[in-house]
Structure 1
Amino acid sequence: MAWQSSRFDSFPSEVVAMIFELGTFTELEKLQHSPNQTPFVFESCCKSNDYSYSPHFPILISHVSRKWRAIALNTPALWSTLFFDHASHLERGRVFLERCSPRGSSSPEFCSGYFLDIVIATVPFKRKTTQDDDSISKEELEEIFNLLVPVTVRWRSFCLRVRDNTCKKVARDALGHNCGRAPNLETLQLYHFEDYNNVDELIEATIRDPVICFANNVPKLKHLSLIGVNLPWAQSPYLEGLDTLELALHPEKIRPPYEVWDRMLRLSPDLRNLILHYSGPKEGWDEEGSPSSTLAWQGDDLWRSDLPSGKIILDKLEVLSLTDMDAPYLARILDRIQFPNVQRLVLELTSEEEDSDYSEFLQKCCSAGISNTESSSVRLFHNSNLSNSSMSTIPSVDNLKPPLFPFLPTLTSLTLSALDCKTTVLRSLLVCLPELIELEIDFQRVCVNDMYPESSLAWHIFADEPIAHMEDRDNGTVFDSLSRPSNQKGPLLLPKLQVFKILRLGGRQVEGIIRNRECVVNYTCESDIRAMPSPTSTMYSDNVPTRQRSMYIIRYTREMEEQDPVLRKLITSGCCYFPTNCVERRLGGWDTRTEPSDRLVEENPSAVLRRLEPELRDAYGRKVKAEYCTTAPIPINVETNGWTKVMVQAEMINAEESDPAEEDEYGLTDDESGSEWE
């Protein structure tokens, strides 16, 4: 060990410092782990801690030897991440800031090694109930800003979450009145949302005019996330040249005017990520704050003369995420934007009205509609095989409007966290995705069956089984005639799919999906099935040929495992078997009921806004979310004796995990927290 240490010590200090920086960068990547592949720390749809960061690496290497400590203390990048979510982190922040501050005549404005990545997370005032509570509230937040405001020229990223109006006022004063310019700031995330109990609390949170931040001098800003926070939209010249834009949880009154929205997107032609969660451009309001009879935009025929007539072109947009937005409003927004190259699409769209869903919106997304000058309701699809007689009823190309989602034929990743629509419409959407590589579906929130609220009919699409209890779909349109499931086996749906993440689906349904996608021949008679040899112990041999069409990742709750014997057997046995050349059939098709899962019912943030905007909304929005989930990769192995073996590996997440907000994120005891930074 001494010989190895001496060999490593022979490396130049510059090389050792580079190795240390790589290790620290890995820790920082864990902090920025957004599922939407953005550099933001906080998620708009999560109320608990959704971040994870630990500075153990730079501290550990600084305690190995005198030489390593000297190198570490003279490498500013190791100490440039300042993370505050406990009051005890304030002293650590002071030490880190001193270690990464420039010495001598170096100008920090032009030295990247001295740039700061800052994260601040407070808790609601009511959470700070005891004198020993270590969470951050008003007093600690003021001290943090007193420490950071003098060095805004060194800020590279800044993510702030406040959960009450008291902390919000502190942040407004610091960022609006005390902060100077931020010439190196690239990432800005401002989050303010709390559990509003009544309309008065929401009015109090939104009645104040927004403040100008950083003296409007943020020339390098590339990634902007505003969650429940608005800006002086018309007085923020830095809203351009963006790579990532997230707007979330904005009541109608504080949303950006459409002219600002239009300008912001047109001046960000390199935009790669667009995330909208109960937000977007303002529809139009009169002086009294009530909805105006004239919207900000109503289509080509009623377009405002003061706005550009052409569509907004976002050729470089790669990620589009849409959550909790009304279908007509969303359709009007997307109709004015052209984004042909989106690679990842995330949808979480649920309807609060019993007789309304997103079926019509999805038809507009995956089909070419008829312009306003045509009265016909016929639609033309991306992937349609129409007969000559059908083609004769289709209007000329000049009268067709392009689909809202022109990127579907080349889309590679789709996440359906929630989607209220008809099963036939969902199938037609999936047919338009021949290049899809990754698919994630929460089956308890997609195409939910009214007869069985805890079940979904969407799994039939992938198992290729007859769909029972289906809604009426025979309205004579081309869309529905092309979408109707056939009893004949057709081409495999999503032929290039490599990763299929299945959330909250019963074991029998999971087996049905795997069987249909992994079998070689999709049909046979019952006698052929009975004639197949039974699984034997030889199937556990490691030397089996492997055919990996797709990897299946199953997420399930503990209660689902306890109440679903098929799912439990699939998990505990580590594998399931079915004949390679056939699919096992059951009379009447597969059971459509899914065993009930453990649920945590809570009112989500956008539902709070809907509830507290009675002049616009009068419905309560409720979301169902699994309390915990488990992932299980399933590689597919094909046996030489004619059977397919599906291997399952499962890891159960402990449901009794303590509240992350009450834990020391850094694994330090009270005795260590003061001395470890020295």
Structure 2
Amino acid sequence: MSGQISSVNLLALQEQLHDDEGTRRRLALRLEATRAAVEQAQHALAAAQLEQRLLEAQLLEKDRVLAIQRRLVSPISMLAHDTLLEIFYRVQSTVPEDWYPKCLYATRMAYQLASVSQEWRRVVLSTPRMWANIYFDFYLDPLDERWNSEEIEGRQPRCRALHLQLQRSMKVPLDICVKHYDPRRPGEVLYGSTFRAIMDTAARWRSFSLTVDTYGTGNHCILHHFQAPTPLLERFEINLSGEGHYLSADDATLHLPCDPQRPINFLPHAPRLRALEIESSLVPHVLSVRPPKLSTLQLVVEGYHARNVVPTYELACLLSKLPSLESLDIHAEADILPHNQAKPHPTVILALLRELKFTDCSVNTLAPVATTLSVPRLQKLSIDSFSGTAAELAFLKACGSGGVMEDTSRKS
């Protein structure tokens, strides 16, 4: 019958079953042995990992001990605290030629020195003088009307870093450089608070440099920010950007950077001021300044050449109040025709002036002042643009003799 298994087939199946059961027993034995080997290996691995952790801990401890020993025998670690600080100060003050401004380089070096080691970080963070160089750039796209949310988010870390640096500097004198400030924006919280934080340190300024951006918006009384006492100030620079700041002979009304009806007591107390750099359009508004030790004055005339003028009468009045002046630099992009040359100018006697420079311009830039200028001790005269006119030759003769130059403009 087909449904029944023959005796021959049954015997074969029984033999096959016996063989398969034997194979399974052997596999089970091998699996058991393998499991035992794995368990043994796991115990060995755990022991090895424990030993590894112990060795790593011992190595770290040994490295710590060696680091202490190396610091003890290292020459720089043997330096006195004051000597180490002097090295740091020299590193900060050694500015590469391609770096400007100095304040930015000094601040970056402070952060780099603080990242060398824990000891150096402790020294740098605890030394106010290392944070006495303040640099901040208010850069803003002139096409933007405000600091939008993305810009504010990007500026917040820099603003916080500025406040932190001012805190770290404590009460030491400060060297400050501020770029691209726009006086149209003092009401904006982040913008205004940052600028006020800088201005609140006026009593600690040793040097102050400010670049103002206005993009031709007209009257902005930037000088009103500088009426606080500055007893430590030695150098002051202010540069204006934007056509609206310049006096223009073509305009029916002269667009001054400050309201003429509001007198400004500019730098009322600056007994140590030795160097002053200002734009020509600001001269009428700084006549109140009387620093007793001012030795260097730089007058900057930049922008659209013939549209700019030098307020020579006010400049003559300013120079007459600076008897200690030793260096005068007229820095203009071209010869400028003064708008008030017909007005009588006071005689200016600079008894201590030793250096007079006309950078990128000629004597004609200050023609009305030059006719009444006496420089008896002049040692160096530099004129970048010289045409040999009668007025220029007379000025050279007057400088050589130490006398007052004759007005030869009509003869020429």
Per the shorter chain, which TM-score range? 0.5 to 0.7
Matched ranges for 1:218-617 at <5 A: 218-230=270-282, 236-249=288-301, 252=309, 254-257=311-314, 260-265=317-322, 267-269=323-325, 271-277=326-332, 285=340, 292=342, 295-297=343-345, 312-318=349-355, 320-325=357-362, 327=364, 329-330=366-367, 333=370, 336-338=373-375, 340-343=377-380, 345-348=382-385, 357-364=387-394, 402-405=397-400
For normalisation by structure 1, the TM-score amounts to: 0.38
- Aligned partner of 1:23 in structure 2 is 91
Task: Write the letter of the residue equivalent to 1:71.
Answer: V
- Aligned partner of 1:194 in structure 2 is 242
Contact 2:266 2:286 in 1 (8 A): no
Counterpart selection for 1:116 from 161, 174, 199: 174
Task: Output the CA distance in 2 between the equivalents of 1:230 and 1:280.
Answer: 19
Give the drift of 1:264: 2.5
- Tell me, which stretches of 5 or more residues in structure 2 are unaligned? 1-65, 139-154, 303-307, 403-412
Task: Output the CA distance in 2 between the equivalents of 1:229 and 1:64.
Answer: 47
Task: Output the CA distance in 2 between the equivalents of 1:121 and 1:247.
Answer: 19
Contact 1:123 1:137 in 2 (8 A): no
- Aligned partner of 1:618 in structure 2 is none
Bigger relative CO (Cα 8 Å, ≥ 6 apart): 1
Contact 2:134 2:175 in 1 (8 A): yes
Task: Output the CA distance in 1 between the equivalents of 2:99 and 2:376.
Answer: 30
Task: Output the CA distance in 1 between the equivalents of 2:243 and 2:389.
Answer: 32
For normalisation by structure 2, the TM-score amounts to: 0.60
- Tell me, which stretches of 5 or more residues in structure 1 are unaligned? 34-40, 42-50, 102-107, 109-113, 127-135, 286-290, 298-306, 350-356, 367-401, 408-678
- Aligned partner of 2:233 in structure 1 is 185
Task: Output the CA distance in 1 between the equivalents of 2:235 and 2:86.
Answer: 24
Give the drift of 1:160: 0.7
Counterpart selection for 2:201 from 151, 165, 168: 151
Task: Write the letter of the residue equivalent to 1:186.
Answer: E
**Which string of whole-angstrom CA distances, capped at 9 and with x for unpartnered residues, describes residues 234-282 of structure 1?**
85142543111012229558555365234224x225x234334379999
Give the drift of 1:226: 0.8
Task: Output the CA distance in 1 between the equivalents of 2:312 and 2:291.
Answer: 14
Give the drift of 1:175: 2.9
- Aligned partner of 2:211 in structure 1 is 161
> Counting helix residues as a fraction of each chain, which structure ranks higher?
2
Counting aligned pairs with the same residue, the percent is: 17
Task: Write the letter of the residue equivalent to 1:274.
Answer: D
Give the drift of 1:62: 0.6
Structure with greater Cα Rg: 2
Task: Output the CA distance in 2 between the equivalents of 1:332 and 1:256.
Answer: 7
Task: Output the CA distance in 2 between the equivalents of 1:186 and 1:313.
Answer: 21
Contact 2:335 2:361 in 1 (8 A): no
Give the drift of 1:315: 4.0
Change (3 A) 1:96 1:364: same
Task: Output the CA distance in 2 between the equivalents of 1:64 and 1:154.
Answer: 29
CA RMSD of aligned residues (A): 4.4
- Aligned partner of 1:598 in structure 2 is none
Change (3 A) 1:9 1:268: same
Give the drift of 1:211: 5.0
**Which string of whole-angstrom CA distances, capped at 9 and with x for unpartnered residues, describes residues 394-452 of structure 1?**
xxxxxxxx443569xxxxxxxxxxxxxxxxxxxxxxxxxxxxxxxxxxxxxxxxxxxxx
Contact 1:30 1:52 in 2 (8 A): no
Task: Write the letter of the residue equivalent to 1:264.
Answer: K
Task: Output the CA distance in 1 between the equivalents of 2:106 and 2:224.
Answer: 30
Task: Output the CA distance in 2 between the equivalents of 1:181 and 1:279.
Answer: 36
**Which string of whole-angstrom CA distances, capped at 9 and with x for unpartnered residues, describes residues 468-518 of structure 1?**
xxxxxxxxxxxxxxxxxxxxxxxxxxxxxxxxxxxxxxxxxxxxxxxxxxx
SS of 1:18 mapped into structure 2:
helix
Give the drift of 1:81: 0.9
Task: Write the letter of the residue equivalent to 1:171.
Answer: I
Give the drift of 1:148: 1.8
Task: Write the letter of the residue equivalent to 1:17.
Answer: L
Counterpart selection for 1:175 from 197, 211, 226: 226
